[in-house]
Amino acid sequence: MRGHEKHEEEALGRPRVGVSSCLLGAPVRYNGGHCRFRFLTEELSPYVDWLPVCPEAEIGLGVPRPTLRLQRRAGSDRVVGARDGSDHTEELAAVADKHLDGLRRLDGYVLKHKSPSCGMFALPVFDEEGHRVGGRGRGAFTSRLAELVPGLPMEEQGRLSDPSLREAFVERLFAHARLRELWESDWRPRDLVGFHSRHKIQLMAHTPEGYRETGRIAARAGAWDRDRTVREYTDAFRRALAVPAGRGRHANALQHVFGMIGPLLDGSRRKDLLAAVEDYRRGQVPLSLPVALLRHHCDAEEVAWACRQTYLRPYPDSLGLRHPVAV
């Protein structure tokens, strides 16, 4: 890797990501197998540091082991053995408490879908006679994880096959990593202001109000104690990036960057760039096309403010996440 490329990659941040161990290929599933997810192991792995966890293996259920399921008992969903009805809910939840120090330093988490310990969405729930009574359960470990680290980006691996959800999740991973690395440094209020300035367009693409809220906190950093600043900016930053960035807001963000460089371009280049933005707005081209043009012109015209915007390079280009037209 050339020197300037290495510097650019380092500037993107290196996320720390929790993950269900089976998704990285560990043979810890109930049947002794794994669910290796190639996007994680082959595409994302070079750019992140993993914290693999298998709650069921950690509480000593063994491999292979009897299957578990969610069962509704007295109005509460419990994780029980499908054969003997043994209740493992509290043990599985306690695995999150065991890893609490590491979890608080994470930038995101990828969970095994349909798992009674790790599933996030619509797990089937059964009554004590084995009849299905609902499909909105959540795994015991995941429920506790969400309580201990509110706002942590979490996603099931099944949903990461959707290009839009994958792009949004990875964007949040790298943004959270950059913020964590700022807090881990000997930062000063001006460093937070600079961080906020670099993320202006990225935040606006999600929610203009979120950008304004984080901006107000950054402006008060010099008057507040450090712990309050870290807590309030982190919470606001996480909430802002959790708001989906739709095609309309992306197009508005592109227009905002264009406004910085348009006056420096001749008529033909302005026309081509605006056409690319409009084609994206109509769903005819992927987001990567207008972004690539903006980056090219920002570099060529040496528009420093625009070149530094994380929106134009939120994660490594090699991940190719903005190429699908659906994004």
Q: Name the pairing type of β-strands 16-20 and 76-81.
A: unpaired
Per-position DSSP letters for 194-233, written without gaps between them: HHHHHTHHHHHHH-HHHHHHHHHHHHTTTTS-HHHHHHHH
CA angle 233, 8, 101 (to 5 degrees): 45
Q: Give the per-residue pLDDT at 9.
A: 54
Residue 9 φ/ψ, nearest 5 degrees? -65, -40
Count of CB atoms within 10 A of residue 133's CB? 15
**Amino acid letter, 101:** D
Q: Give the per-residue pLDDT at 68.
A: 94
- The contacts of residue 128 (CB under 8 Å, 6+ apart) are 71, 72, 73, 85
In terms of DSSP H, where are the helices of the chain? 3-11, 38, 55-58, 89-98, 100-103, 140-148, 163-184, 189-198, 200-206, 208-219, 226-242, 247-261, 267-281, 288-301, 304-307
33 neighbors 66 (Cβ within 8 angstroms): no
Q: Please return the burial class of 308, using the count of CB atoms within 10 Å of its CB with bins 0-12, 13-18 and 19+.
A: middle
Distance CA 21, CA 275 (A): 45
- The contacts of residue 216 (CB under 8 Å, 6+ apart) are none
Q: Please return the burial class of 191, using the count of CB atoms within 10 Å of its CB with bins 0-12, 13-18 and 19+.
A: middle
Beta-carbon-side half-sphere exposure of residue 86 (alpha carbons within 13 Å): 11
- The contacts of residue 188 (CB under 8 Å, 6+ apart) are none
Q: Give the per-residue pLDDT at 8.
A: 54
- The contacts of residue 191 (CB under 8 Å, 6+ apart) are 182, 185
22-76 pLDDT, tens digit each: 999 999 998 888 999 999 999 999 999 999 999 999 999 989 998 999 999 988 8
Counting as low any pLDDT under 50, the low residues of the chain are 1-7
